[in-house]
Chain A
């Protein structure tokens, strides 16, 4: 049976039996057949000291709902069960010291990359969001406030922008829960429109990890859960990043 382009590469990488990462932290929990545990992935993803700007922090454009829910979750991070994920300008900054396997790594001399969901830097105009991750239950919550640049139907966020926010939440959740890297599929059912400038809460859950794939579900609703904006299921491909050769 023909395998897709993605999966073919993933199998090649897997069978090369890449050496275990020598920098793994103690007290590991093997989440999957892949090398890194969620703990070590999170530790690397959330550097304690960094000069990089974190875009996932409150600013003047955040509506009161978003601010208060953010505070609630921040309280929950004190117990260590929830983690606030930083959000840098580019995914390259999130995976410093790591690179894609050689079949996929694209050499580039360009500098001005930006992750799509941080493309509009004007406060409040584009994607305002923050993701909280729960490592042991492999779930996350994204607080999302779409700005006027994300408009589709006048006064409401367009479907593509919610799809993008769901894909991004899946992406970070999949990576930390099991080195999920590439989107394989997204299936979104839109129910109601999100008014521009209001808060949408995206609850994401990893349902299972099987055959190098992470299966996730997400529901986007209003804070009081009275309005469901959309439901989505997504599948991501596991692919282990390689260490950059040390200089």
Chain B
């Protein structure tokens, strides 16, 4: 079964940029007993819940889709990736079992509380993000690195919809500091593609869209199916 999954991945990456389908199925429909973190919990503020409801309404006609979010990647996905792209010297069995999504490694409400919605036609990923007390930088504000993380994760998911890709460049312009524990909207969109290159633009705004906190551009490169990463 592993070999057929690897073969499937190979054809996916080799195919010209087409609308996401198989890649999403690989990640979203995996039968897991793990918790889906992309759903409201008691730490979510009223603002975040309202926004969540608004976007869930948008999902009703199928133009938007809510992304499930798990703490760990399904083992099958991990093994596929390592078999295809990684030099065997770097494969550590024990580490694979300990690894988990960083953004989901916090106690409820203390880190990144977020949910992503994807629009296939617009190639747009929206992330509703509420920062917790453990993301602090300058007292009272979100750490620049935490902002870089949520941008990398959101632009990454936007690029991933087009194929397995790695971040090549990340350019972030911080316009205004984001108050800790506030809710912001991270809006990413594929702005251009050139062969294996994917250009993604991103903005972070307040819920009422009156404040622009951050602007960013990212360049992702789809993995070459014939080359190893290491």
Q: Is the CB of B82 within 8 A of A171?
A: no
User: Which of B77, B91, B102, B177 has the most chain A CB within a 10 Å cutoff?
Assistant: B102
- Chain B 132-146 interface residues, beta-carbon cutoff 8 Å to A: 133-146
Taking A110-B133, A119-B134, A186-B148 as contacts, is the C-beta distance between A159 and B139 under 8 angstroms? no
Which of B6-14, B57-65, B93-101, B117-125 lies on the face that meets chain A?
B93-101
Which of A51-59, A77-85, A149-157, A201-209 lies on the face that meets chain B?
A149-157
Q: Is the CB of A153 within 8 A of B166?
A: yes
- Chain A 170-224 interface residues, beta-carbon cutoff 8 Å to B: 171, 181-190, 193, 195-197
Q: Is the CB of B139 within 8 A of A100?
A: yes
What CA separation (Å) do A90 and B172 show in the bound complex?
24
Residues of chain A contacted by B133 (CB below 8 angstroms)? 110, 112-114
User: How near does chain A come to B153, taking the closest CB pair, in angstroms?
Assistant: 6
User: Which of A119, A181, A186 has the most chain B CB within a 10 Å cutoff?
Assistant: A119
Q: Is the CB of A154 within 8 A of B82?
A: yes
User: How near does chain A come to B54, taking the closest CB pair, in angstroms?
Assistant: 27
Asked if B56 is at the interface (CB within 8 A of a chain A CB), the reply is no
- Chain A 55-114 interface residues, beta-carbon cutoff 8 Å to B: 90-92, 95, 100, 104-106, 108, 110, 112-114
User: How near does chain B come to A5, taking the closest CB pair, in angstroms?
Assistant: 4
User: How near does chain B come to A186, taking the closest CB pair, in angstroms?
Assistant: 5
Q: List 10 A-B contacts (CB under 8 A).
A: A106-B141, A114-B110, A115-B136, A116-B136, A119-B106, A148-B98, A154-B86, A155-B86, A171-B137, A182-B177
- A154-B96, A190-B168, A193-B229 known; 9 new pairs, CB 8 Å cut-off, are A90-B136, A126-B102, A152-B156, A154-B77, A154-B78, A154-B86, A156-B229, A160-B153, A190-B167
Asked if B230 is at the interface (CB within 8 A of a chain A CB), the reply is yes
Q: Is the CB of B145 within 8 A of A168?
A: yes
User: How near does chain B come to A66, taking the closest CB pair, in angstroms?
Assistant: 16
Q: Is the CB of B170 within 8 A of A159?
A: yes
Residues of chain B contacted by A100 (CB below 8 angstroms)? 138-140
Taking A113-B133, A188-B169 as contacts, is the C-beta distance between A151 and B139 under 8 angstroms? no
User: Which of A91, A115, A155, A181 has the most chain B CB within a 10 Å cutoff?
Assistant: A155
Asked if B18 is at the interface (CB within 8 A of a chain A CB), the reply is no
Q: Is the CB of B99 within 8 A of A148?
A: yes
Q: Is the CB of A106 within 8 A of B180?
A: yes
Find the B residue at minimum CB distance from A114: B134
Residues of chain A contacted by B167 (CB below 8 angstroms)? 159, 190
Q: Is the CB of A184 within 8 A of B174?
A: yes
* Range class of the A interface residue count: 35 or more
Q: Is the CB of A160 within 8 A of B149?
A: yes
Q: Is the CB of B92 within 8 A of A155?
A: yes
Asked if A161 is at the interface (CB within 8 A of a chain B CB), the reply is yes
The 9 closest A-B pairs by CB, nearest first: A164-B145, A106-B140, A160-B152, A160-B149, A183-B144, A116-B143, A163-B148, A159-B167, A167-B145
Residues of chain A contacted by B105 (CB below 8 angstroms)? 120, 125-126, 149
User: How near does chain B come to A140, taking the closest CB pair, in angstroms?
Assistant: 16
What CA separation (Å) do A88 and B41 show in the bound complex?
30
What CA separation (Å) do A112 and B134 show in the bound complex?
8
Find the A residue at minimum CB distance from B91: A155
Find the B residue at minimum CB distance from A168: B145
Asked if B73 is at the interface (CB within 8 A of a chain A CB), the reply is yes
Q: Is the CB of B110 within 8 A of A112?
A: yes
Asked if B202 is at the interface (CB within 8 A of a chain A CB), the reply is no
Asked if B173 is at the interface (CB within 8 A of a chain A CB), the reply is yes
What CA separation (Å) do A115 and B180 show in the bound complex?
11
What CA separation (Å) do A165 and B54 show in the bound complex?
35
Residues of chain B contacted by A154 (CB below 8 angstroms)? 73, 77-78, 81-82, 86, 96, 99
Q: Is the CB of B138 within 8 A of A165?
A: no
User: How near does chain A come to B9, taking the closest CB pair, in angstroms?
Assistant: 13
Question: What 1/0 mask marks residues of chain B from 148 to 177 whose CB sits below 8 Å from any chain A CB?
Answer: 111111001000000000111111111111
Taking A153-B229, A159-B170, A164-B146 as contacts, is the C-beta distance between A148 and B139 under 8 angstroms? no
Find the B residue at minimum CB distance from A232: B170
What CA separation (Å) do A173 and B181 show in the bound complex?
26
Q: Is the CB of B143 within 8 A of A92?
A: no
